Amino acid sequence: MDFEFWWLLSWPLFFGLGWLAARIDIKHLVKESRSLPRSYLSGLNFLLSEQPDKAIDAFLEAVKVDPQTVELHFALGSLFRRRGELDRAIRVHQSLLEREDLSDENRLHALQELGEDYLKAGLLDRAEEVYLRLRGTSRSEAANNALLEIYQQEKNWGRAIDIARDMPRRGSKRWEVDIANFYCEMAATALAHSRFEEAMSLLDEALSTNRKCVRASLLRGDVMVAMGRDADAVNAWQEIGHQDPVYLSLIAVRMMDACRRLGTEAAGAQFLKTHLTQTPSLDLLEIVFKWEIEKHGAEAAYALVRNELTRNPTMLGLEKLLEAAIHTVEGEHKGDVELIRGLIHGHTRKVARYCCKECGFKARQFYWRCPACGGWETYPPKRSEEFDLAV
């Protein structure tokens, strides 16, 4: 009982101490707020009220009252850039860099902001110059990321390789995939200009960097075909079956054409059918289906699609089954099958797209680099319906 009594008596003491601490904090806050320009507080209020235009005017007035306020310059620059007024944002950050009293860290911050202004404005050469100055500083990581993006936009793959090799692995990010694709980009250019030896050398570099680079094996086959070496091309494409067989659909047509010229079409078709059984793919099924219906007739093609649909049930597979059925049905029922296939086709157009596994961006054509997030090899050559089933 004595303990509880004294505990109750301590409450007023605690209350008094709390009141005193609050008074001290309030006095400190009032003192600091009085030292700030009134327009600065108005600008903050406008920002919180989502009125950026009025906030900019208020901050400009605050800069006139207290030109030494570096934070206001940074706030202004960010606001101008967000509003798309890049020329004004550039002037703000350039004015910061001209100040002699700027600390080293704030100078690096201003340089980074200026580089972002140039990048947003599409002034890639000026942005590159700024970010090169930031390399080796505390802002080096951001500078390297920006430079990598600049060189990819400029298609300067040699410099992109140099930057990517200097960048540390970040989480699950593997720069080997990007670097191998940079080599592939250069190899594709060399192939387009019939510089076959150069293309092969670049593809060797790509595979040395990333031995699972499917694109390098695909391009190697294309180079062999251009050199008239179909057998070597088929061997290069068959290597994709070991790297990642899901990509075989990208070379199936070219592989069948090469096998046809070599007189080994049946062996090529069997190779694709074997991998279709192991790795379901609607795109690969399309090529094998056409070969089956051409060589063995509608019944064999129908059986092929029916078996594949049983293992991998999709609307796109059903449409292909109905297409095969049209060739096997006679009389008035043929029109009914065509009608059903037409209805199914209207739905499958929505799911017959490729999907980026990183950002979810969908497109009707395959990309080695996602147009949305910029990731390399983030587009599995599977339709979005298959992708959804897989995940």
* Residue 189, pLDDT score: 96
Q: What is the pLDDT of residues 334-348, one digit of tens each?
A: 665 666 666 665 555
Q: Which residues of 47-62 are buried (b: 16+ CB within 10 A; e: fewer)?
A: beeeeeeebbebbeeb
Q: What is the pLDDT of residues 278-287, one digit of tens each?
A: 777 777 777 8
Indicate the pLDDT class of residue 71, thresholds 50, 70 and 90. Answer: confident
Q: Phi first, then psi: give them for residue 67, nearest 5 degrees.
A: -65, -10
Question: Rounded to whole angstroms, how far apart are CA atoms 3 and 230?
Answer: 96
Question: Rounded to whole angstroms, how far apart are CA atoms 169 and 174?
Answer: 6
Residue 313 has a CB neighbour count (10 Å cut-off) of 10
Question: Rounded to whole angstroms, how far apart are CA atoms 191 and 188?
Answer: 5
* Residue 43, pLDDT score: 61
Question: Rounded to whole angstroms, how far apart are CA atoms 258 and 141?
Answer: 46
* 355 annotated to a ligand binding site: no
Q: At what angle do helices 196-209 and 175-192 cross, to 10 degrees?
A: 170
Question: Rounded to whole angstroms, how far apart are CA atoms 391 and 387?
Answer: 6
The burial class, CB within 10 Å (0-12 / 13-18 / 19+), for 218 is buried
* 373 annotated to a ligand binding site: yes
Question: Rounded to whole angstroms, how far apart are CA atoms 127 and 116?
Answer: 7
CA angle centred on 243, ends 239 and 247, rounded to 5°: 85
Q: What is the pLDDT of residues 204-233, one digit of tens each?
A: 999 999 999 999 999 999 999 999 999 999
Q: What is the pLDDT of residues 279-313, one digit of tens each?
A: 777 777 778 878 887 887 777 777 777 777 777 76
Same fold, 34-159 and 169-279: yes
- 264 pLDDT higher than 90: yes
Amino acid at site 183: Y
Q: Are 315 and 351 in contact (CB under 8 A)?
A: yes
- 42 pLDDT higher than 80: no
CATH T-level assignment (fold) for domain 34-159:
1.25.40
* Residue 351, pLDDT score: 54
* Residue 24, pLDDT score: 43
Mean pLDDT over 25-42 rounds to: 50
* Check whether domain 169-279 has CATH 1.25.40.10, yes or no: yes
More confident residue, 17 or 369: 369
* Residue 146, pLDDT score: 94
Question: Rounded to whole angstroms, how far apart are CA atoms 325 and 308?
Answer: 14
First to last CA, the chain: 65
Amino acid at site 43: G
- 27 pLDDT higher than 50: no
Which value, in Å, is the radius of gyration of the alpha carbons in the chain?
32
Q: Are 70 and 96 in contact (CB under 8 A)?
A: yes
* Residue 232, pLDDT score: 96
Mean pLDDT over 40-64 rounds to: 62
More confident residue, 110 or 333: 110
CA angle centred on 100, ends 129 and 34, rounded to 5°: 120
Helix (H, G, I), strand (E, B) or coil at 376: strand
* Domains of the chain, residue spans: 1-33, 34-159, 169-279, 281-352, 353-391
* Residue 19, pLDDT score: 46
Helix (H, G, I), strand (E, B) or coil at 80: helix
Which range among 44-53, 172-181, 204-213 shows the weakest confidence by mean pLDDT? 44-53
Model-level pTM?
Answer: 0.74
Q: Are 26 and 34 in contact (CB under 8 A)?
A: no
Q: Which residues contact 325 (CB under 8 A, 6 or more apart)?
A: 302, 337
Q: Is 335 left (phi over 0), alpha (psi -120 to 50) or beta?
A: alpha
Q: Are 176 and 209 in contact (CB under 8 A)?
A: yes
Amino acid at site 57: D
Which range among 68-82, 148-162, 207-221 shows the weakest confidence by mean pLDDT? 68-82
Q: Which residues contact 50 (CB under 8 A, 6 or more apart)?
A: none
Q: Which residues contact 192 (CB under 8 A, 6 or more apart)?
A: none
Residue 334 has a CB neighbour count (10 Å cut-off) of 14
- 181 pLDDT higher than 80: yes
Question: Rounded to whole angstroms, how far apart are CA atoms 48 and 82?
Answer: 16
* 356 annotated to a ligand binding site: yes
